[in-house]
Structure formats: structure tokens, C-alpha cells
């Protein structure tokens, strides 16, 4: 964390955020490192809402069943 003294009344803290996508093994190492260095952190598990997951599943099923059109067909059907 970098601290900048602007004047005697104001101190601004500049913090960084890192977004990483580690494997399970890498996550263990990163967690151990952060804990060893006494760096505060939190993990956010992003889970899509159930209605979104259901829609993805329906779309995959439609695709597998052949219920789809190409992008070219789409552009012809719905011109801009």
C-alpha cells in the first residue's frame, strides 16, 4: 500500500486490486503466500444465478439437437 501525504490535513491511500484465475493448486500456494506475508485478502466465488445456468443448459441442448442458425442466416433474417 502506498501512502501519499497531500498536505497536513489529507492522507490518501492508494491500493491495488489484482484479478487472477488460479488453478486449485495455484490457489493453495497464493493463499499460503498471502497469509505468510500478513496481506489481507478475500476470495469472491462468482456463481451465475440459476436462471442463467438454466438458460445456458437449454442453449447447449438446442445446439446439440440442431436447433440453431448460422450468423449469416441470422443477419439475413434480422438485418440492421
The tens digit of pLDDT for each residue in 20-32 reads 889 999 999 999 9
Asked if residue 1 has pLDDT above 70, the reply is no
Question: CA-CA distance, 8 to 20, in Å (whole number)?
Answer: 37
Asked if residue 16 has pLDDT above 90, the reply is no
pLDDT at 10: 59
Question: CA-CA distance, 33 to 37, in Å (whole number)?
Answer: 6
- Sign of the torsion formed by the C-alpha atoms of 5, 6, 9 and 14: negative
Look over the chain and give the mean of its residue pLDDT values, rounded to a whole number.
Answer: 85
Question: CA-CA distance, 74 to 69, in Å (whole number)?
Answer: 7
List alpha helices for the chain, DSSP H: 24-36, 50-64, 71-77
Amino acid at each position: 500500500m502506498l501512502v501519499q501525504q497531500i498536505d497536513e490535513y489529507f492522507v490518501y491511500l492508494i491500493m491495488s486490486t489484482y484479478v487472477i484465475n488460479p488453478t486449485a493448486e495455484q490457489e493453495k500456494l497464493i493463499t499460503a503466500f498471502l497469509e505468510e506475508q500478513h496481506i489481507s485478502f478475500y476470495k469472491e466465488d462468482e456463481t451465475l444465478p440459476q436462471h442463467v445456468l438454466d438458460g445456458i443448459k437449454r442453449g447447449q441442448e438446442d445446439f446439440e439437437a440442431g436447433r440453431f442458425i448460422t450468423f449469416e442466416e441470422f443477419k439475413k433474417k434480422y438485418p440492421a
